[in-house]
Amino acid sequence: MVVLFILFQVLNLSFPLNARVEYSTIVLASDSTLVNAFLTSDDKWRMYTELNEITQELKKAIIYKEDRFFRFHFGINPVAVFRAFANNIRTGKRTSGASTITMQVARLLEPKERTYWNKFIEMFRALQLEWRFSKEEILQLYLNLVPYGSNIEGVKAASVIY
């Protein structure tokens, strides 16, 4: 266990996590209503949302649908990884995923082609996210980055545009 911890620390220092996110610039009226918003430099509608702006019902629904064990794992759900790997080997194709909310945040921060090697990188990034952020901060990142079609990312942008 100590060797794994040291290995993680060496890799963590060698391949630092970049968790910076660019958000749309928004213009608010004096009563805090949205007047205008501007695309990010990568042409996305991505509006920053604090976790306390999100209803408990939406948070619970997202966690239930995306990652029921979100509060209990360390960024990777080993049971889901084993299940997905076994199913993929058995069928010869990708039939189910194993991505936790944390792993999805890692993929949203660093989009890459879907390969087994990139899945390992995603798992490592998930460990880095769990090391650096609380579960609440990871959930907030997810709710700010989750795609809602076209160039709309995050629950606030989706609620404004749709």
CA distance linking residue 5 with residue 148, whole number of Å: 37
CA distance linking residue 138 with residue 115, whole number of Å: 24
pLDDT at 126: 96
CA distance linking residue 115 with residue 154, whole number of Å: 25
pLDDT at 97: 76
* Crossing angle (nearest 10°) for helices 101-109 and 135-145: 50
Question: What confidence tens digit (pLDDT) does each residue in 72-118 have?
Answer: 999 999 999 899 888 888 888 877 778 999 999 999 999 999 888 99
Give, in degrees to the nearest 5, the angle at Cα 57 between 22 and 80. 75
Residues 6+ apart with CB under 8 A from 61: none
Contact (CB, 8 A) for 103 and 75: yes
CA distance linking residue 104 with residue 89, whole number of Å: 22
Domain 18-161 CATH assignment equals 1.10.3810.10: yes
Give which of 12, 18, 83 is closest to 99, Cα–Cα: 83
- Which residue is it, tokens 């990568």? 42
Give which of 94, 64, 81, 68 is closest to 127, Cα–Cα: 81
pLDDT at 91: 85
pLDDT at 11: 82
Contact (CB, 8 A) for 109 and 90: no
pTM over 0.85: yes
- Which residue is it, tokens 């968790």? 19
Domain ranges of the chain: 18-161
Q: Which two tokens stand for residue 52?
A: 């306390």
Weakly modelled stretches of the chain, pLDDT under 70 = none
